[in-house]
């Protein structure tokens, strides 16, 4: 009897160790593993959603500060990082469902979603599918409408469908880095190189799905941090306010697309100030 008790105790201790802060954990979605890391405790969490061909490591300079205030979860979207990479369509719906799978596995009831780049339409799709679980959305240099014409987007996609897609990616990212240190730039480029071509093409195709960009309102608080550049249309603020009645917007000068990696303390302070102002994740 004592032996059985010791075995059960050891098993429970082992399970607890797996759930330690920052340890890799895996949720399941249709049989595929979704990699995530959790920091802190609580049934509500700040969920960090990376961009196209990136991974949860993009948030390494956010987690220590943000986790001092509330529970934080960072995940690798399907096809990215340490998550499984099956041959399927990498849609914003799939990514939203993956976030929900992680929240269920981590026993999280409600979330503030922080979405960088592609993570922005992913966060919006999560809100559409799971509004009761969404407390707020933080947009990090991501768009909520299509850019350019359909022909232009198709031409852009063709570069990534071809055999020289890695060269196309390197050129694209080189234009987005701002003053990001060389080591950080290398992390972004390595993550791109490690993402299978079928994943990155499918995800980019999905981002061009016009049905994602309807006029339906986002009726939770939204905080947008955008890098000021000619890339944005002149009416961006007006457009965002039309979608999100409770919007706060900051334009940051002198930063590139990976602004949270470029100015981590400024970014962390801004997110915490927003959470405090809206009394979120208390």
- 236 burial type by CB count under 10 A (0-12 exposed, 13-18 middle, 19+ buried): middle
* Closest C-alpha among 147, 140, 137, 146 to residue 244: 137
Report the pLDDT value the prediction gives residue 210, as an integer from 0 to 100: 93
CATH number of this structure's domain 21-277, picked from the four choices 2.60.40.10, 3.40.50.1820, 3.90.226.10, 3.90.1720.10 = 3.40.50.1820
* Closest C-alpha among 43, 47, 42, 24 to residue 34: 24
**pLDDT tens for the chain, residues 1 to 282:** 454 444 444 444 434 334 689 999 999 999 999 999 999 999 999 999 999 999 999 999 999 999 999 999 999 999 999 999 999 999 999 999 999 999 999 999 999 999 999 999 999 999 999 999 999 999 999 999 998 888 999 999 999 999 999 999 999 999 999 999 999 999 999 999 999 999 999 999 999 999 999 999 999 999 999 999 998 999 999 999 999 999 999 999 999 999 999 999 999 999 999 999 999 998
Report the pLDDT value the prediction gives residue 141, as an integer from 0 to 100: 98
* Contact (CB, 8 A) for 258 and 188: yes
Report the pLDDT value the prediction gives residue 2, as an integer from 0 to 100: 53
Report the pLDDT value the prediction gives residue 208, as an integer from 0 to 100: 94
Report the pLDDT value the prediction gives residue 10, as an integer from 0 to 100: 40
| Domain positions in the chain | 21-277
Other Cβ atoms within 10 Å of 73 Cβ, number: 25
For residues 91-127, b (16+ Cβ closer than 10 Å) or e, as one string?
A: bbbbbbbbbbbbbebbebebbbbbbbbbbbbbbbbbb
């Amino acid at each position: 009897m004592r032996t059985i008790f010791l075995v059960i105790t050891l098993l429970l201790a082992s399970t607890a160790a797996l759930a330690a802060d920052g340890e890799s954990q895996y949720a399941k979605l249709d049989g595929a593993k979704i990699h995530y890391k959790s920091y802190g405790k609580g049934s509500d969490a700040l969920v960090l959603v990376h961009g196209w061909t990136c991974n949860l490591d993009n948030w390494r300079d956010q987690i220590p500060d943000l986790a001092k205030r509330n529970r934080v979860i960072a995940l690798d979207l399907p096809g990215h990082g340490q998550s499984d990479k099956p041959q399927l369509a990498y849609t914003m719906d799939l990514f939203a469902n993956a976030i929900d799978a992680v929240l269920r596995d981590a026993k999280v009831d409600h979330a503030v979603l922080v979405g960088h780049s592609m993570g922005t339409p992913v966060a919006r799709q999560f809100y559409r599918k799971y509004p009761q679980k969404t407390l707020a959305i933080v947009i990090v240099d991501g768009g909520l409408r299509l850019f350019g014409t359909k022909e232009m987007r198709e031409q852009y996609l063709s570069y990534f469908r071809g055999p020289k897609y890695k060269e196309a990616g390197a050129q694209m990212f080189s234009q987005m880095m701002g003053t990001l240190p060389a080591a950080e730039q290398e992390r972004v480029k390595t993550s791109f190189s490690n993402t299978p071509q079928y994943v990155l093409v499918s995800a980019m195709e999905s981002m061009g799905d016009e049905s994602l960009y309807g006029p339906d309102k986002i009726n939770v608080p939204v905080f947008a941090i955008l890098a000021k550049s000619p890339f944005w249309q002149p009416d961006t603020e007006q457009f965002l306010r039309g979608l999100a009645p409770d919007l706060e917007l900051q334009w940051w000068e002198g930063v590139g697309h990976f602004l949270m990696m470029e100015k981590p303390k400024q970014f962390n302070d801004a997110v915490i100030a927003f959470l405090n102002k809206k009394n979120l994740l208390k």
